[in-house]
Chains A and B, each alone.
Chain A
Amino acid sequence: MAQFELLARCHTTRARVSRLTLAHGVTMLPTFMPVATQAAVKGLTPQQVEALGVTLILNNTYHLNLRPGIKVLSEAGGAHKFQGWNKNLLTDSGGFQLVSLSKFTTITEDGALFESPFTGEPTMLTPEESMSIQHAIGADIIMQLDDVVPSMTPDRQRVEEAMERSVRWLDRCIAHHTLSGKQDSQNLFAIVQGGLDFELRDRCLKQMVERKNSVAGFAIGGLSGGEEKDIFWRIVKQCTEKLPEDRPRYCMGIGFAEDLLVSVALGVDMADCVFPTRTARFGVALTPRGPLNLRLAKYAKDFRPIDGSCPCPTCADGTSRAMLNHTITRETVAAHAVTLHNIAFQAQIMGGARDAILAGTFPDYLQTFFVNYFGDVGYPEWCVNALRSVGVDLLEGSDIKVVTGSGAKWE
């Protein structure tokens, strides 16, 4: 079973620093997990990812089950060996992609019924089957199969049904995982559901926390579906307040810098998102002063690196914005260069948070980040509200304006 040690807590916010020890080494939390959907972080080799100081990445079960398939993964000795990644690995349950990518998916009590992409035959993904597939993949952290409904679903009854079913499926995942004898090397996380409804979330939290001794960690699911940010943070806060202190908390599908730092302040330890790697391929480099859209003509003669203080190979090598402007969306190497940078940026944000929490300066760290990142365009109101709820007032002694809506920064 995973070893989870709390090392320090922020004196003001709910942020904490911890050490998660899994079968493939130590991962310091809070952390951001780059996504390697098809057993590769797009364009990079595992050695390149490791050199970025990343110790935990995510593979998608749905995709790996289709290709290369469980037989190949088993022959290879698991997904770690197959892709040459010797650090920690997390797989999702496959349920989310089933709903988002597959046609004709029907959820029954038994499992998710979908059309097999191989044969077109109706195929059932049950909680037990999801566990078996994830056992074959062999990731250090595996996720329960949950009944996913889009966060904006207006049908409360459907959200309630999905939440209750996710609890029942958690029990089946726990039972199957326990029987497998894989608990020593693989750690099952539960996923809290309940949509944007505080009452449903409370009921889900209560039932799942009762099963705490059978799970290694908890995820907050069913968010990042286009909901209002002001609701997003309130649900995250509700969950982190009720989840046990001695288990890691994983907020699924978030990747914007402000989302990460607000979530960390609310008590989240882990997050994943395709955003930093996907946006890299479209030419957007993330920096402490906001994203740079390298396709813009203004960068054609800009010989500075993306961020002179960034330790990533792209910036350390002096790769200029002008060269990236010349190659982005035309040469894969430009995507590789910006992907390396963006993953390092996410890791820097989270590493800086770890240091600040440890040093007792996390509120200052938040202030500095938000001034640098949003000072020119204004603070998103939801960030101000969320951080105020944990004792940090971004507006104190500041004349920076506040903007409504998501406030996400773009260039």
Chain B
Amino acid sequence: MSTLSFTVGHASRGPFGPRTGKVTLQRAAMALTVSTPGLMVATTRGVVPHLARDQHRRTAALRWVHVPFESFVENVPPTPTIHPGPHPLHTFLAFPDQLVLLALRDPADPRDLPPNGKDHVNVWTARGVKKVSPAQWRAYVHACAPDIVVALPDIPYTPPPFSQKRTTKSIDRTTAWLAHLLAPAPEPLNILVHMAGGLSAAARCAFAESLVESLHENEAAAVRPHLSLDSGVAGYVFDLQPLHRAMDVSSDPVHAPAARADETAALFHASLAPASPAKLRVVNSVASPHEVLRLVRAVGIDVFDAKWAQDAAHVGVALDFVFPVPETAAPRRDLGHNLYRVQYAHDFAPFADTAPACPCGACAPVAPPTVISHSVLDVHAPSAVPPASYTRAYVHHLLHTHEMSAHALLVMHNLAVFDAFFAGVRAVLERGDDFSTAVDRFLAAHDETLAVVAEARTMWRDVDVARGKGRLARERSEMTPG
């Protein structure tokens, strides 16, 4: 089983100020430390989209993966739960050296689902909607042995808005299902809990208070040796996607990013105020580095998923930004390059201007350390010169010819850029520089609407329609809104 600890390093401005920290994981002989604020890589069907296993090792940003379990519910019993060996999930998915966080659902999936029940939640699979009960979830988790698990939350995926009664139900179920997972077991788990309460600060506060309150008698016995639910959890999770969706249809919708960030921060404060300040705070489905910076500054969030950066790679965008913004930076620029644009057809530069020393497998490819020999006559002659950076012109060509390797190169690159961004955030915090000013400069320097990604998505779809005969049908349904 995995031992997890989180220590806060530099912290400022009370319980919600920006902070650095270290997540340390010990699993058998494997030890891993992840510095925070930092990223976790999103997966679908148990894989990092576009990144073959032999590319994992060339991707230093791949330390922590978020694995939604729901696709495995297609088979009964779910395949990873019957995998032999001591680390079934890590082995099955080939993440031996990564921190694997297991959640039931993909937090970025916006599709509607039927209402959850008293004893089940609904999930999306390739074979339609399936039900998972808290008891099944507990069994699956113990069979899979992830490093971290998110307790089953009751997040409604029916169309918002939600009544107060529904919110109360959500809180009660999430609490009960957490207690169910906390019940004594042969192997302890590292559990995160999703902070329930939706758009109501009061409900969020009530949920958090129910976590920290001391339990007595039967309730205490059920989660022994924990004295409260909170003492059994390692940290807190916030899913932005359902929250923002609810905000969109609220009576007083707020769309401006800054105002929406303030509203989000206030709700997260309500959740975190009663909770333990030294526990890990994880956010799913940020839309931009702007949102990351706001949540670091206003809430002290520690870990963010990289889905938006991976999605940008999926539609042909090479990210190009650093934190803090260099003094010499151009006035206002896009967060990256839409490599579908014709201007890149003759551009033989590496992907990024701002990060000339990008360490990714596209900007700094390395010759293979070993080459398979197929006969006694084969003599591997390593090239005298190291491989050159992949160019914008080459990926422009690959994108327009619908070649999959474009996305493999872009995923490696975008993860490296986002990872370096976090390293920049930590460096500013550790030096004690004026973080807030650095954030403001970043917000002003880069387009937050991600127009470059929207434009690329349109061009991606055009090429996909024109050339996607053999392309995977799933991608289309996934990337087409609605």
A82-90, A119-127, A134-142: which lies at the interface: A82-90
Contact of A47 among B368, B379, B397 (CB under 8 A): B368
Residues on A with beta carbons closer than 8 Å to the beta carbon of B366: 47
Residues on A with beta carbons closer than 8 Å to the beta carbon of B126: 330
Q: A300-B75, A314-B53 are in contact. Are A75 and B472 (CB under 8 A)?
A: no
Is A332 in contact with B407, judged by CB distance below 8 angstroms? yes
Closest to A30 in B: B375
Q: Does B82 contact A (CB under 8 A)?
A: yes
B59 to chain A, nearest CB (A): 12
A to B contact number (C-beta, < 8 Å): 194
Q: Could you tell me the dominant secondary structure of chain B's interface residues?
A: loop
Contact of B472 among A82, A317, A330, A350 (CB under 8 A): A330
Residues on A with beta carbons closer than 8 Å to the beta carbon of B27: none
CB-CB contacts of B27-63 with A at 8 A, as 1s and 0s? 0000000000000000011111111111100000000
B413 to chain A, nearest CB (A): 12
Best-buried of A40, A44, A311 by chain B (most CB within 10 Å):
A40
Q: A327-B47, A329-B472, A330-B472 are in contact. Are A67 and B401 (CB under 8 A)?
A: yes
| A43 CA to B471 CA, complexed, in Å | 12
Is A75 in contact with B346, judged by CB distance below 8 angstroms? yes
Is B54 in contact with A43, judged by CB distance below 8 angstroms? no
Is B397 in contact with A301, judged by CB distance below 8 angstroms? no
Residues on B with beta carbons closer than 8 Å to the beta carbon of A25: 381
CB-CB contacts of A304-331 with B at 8 A, as 1s and 0s? 0000000111100111101100110111
A358 to chain B, nearest CB (A): 7
Q: How large is the interface on B (under 10, 10 to 19, 20 to 34, 35 or more residues)?
A: 35 or more
Residues on A with beta carbons closer than 8 Å to the beta carbon of B381: 25-26
Q: A84-B390, A340-B54 are in contact. Are A323 and B46 (CB under 8 A)?
A: yes
A4 to chain B, nearest CB (A): 15
| A119 CA to B375 CA, complexed, in Å | 49
Residues on A with beta carbons closer than 8 Å to the beta carbon of B91: 318
A136 to chain B, nearest CB (A): 15
| A81 CA to B361 CA, complexed, in Å | 17
Closest to A39 in B: B397
Q: Does A337 contact B (CB under 8 A)?
A: yes
Is B367 in contact with A333, judged by CB distance below 8 angstroms? no
Q: Does A335 contact B (CB under 8 A)?
A: yes
Residues on B with beta carbons closer than 8 Å to the beta carbon of A323: 46, 79, 92-94
Q: A43-B404, A300-B79 are in contact. Are A327 and B46 (CB under 8 A)?
A: yes
A–B pairs, 24, beta carbons within 8 Å: A26-B379, A45-B409, A50-B367, A51-B370, A71-B346, A72-B345, A72-B346, A72-B393, A76-B394, A301-B82, A311-B372, A313-B52, A317-B54, A329-B472, A331-B45, A331-B47, A331-B472, A332-B408, A333-B53, A340-B54, A348-B374, A354-B374, A354-B375, A358-B376
Q: Closest 10 interchain pairs by CB?
A: A351-B374, A51-B368, A53-B372, A351-B375, A336-B52, A354-B375, A43-B404, A313-B54, A38-B401, A68-B397
- 5 more A-B residue pairs beyond the given contacts A42-B403, A323-B79, A331-B474, with a C-beta to C-beta distance below 8 A: A38-B401, A67-B397, A332-B408, A350-B374, A354-B377
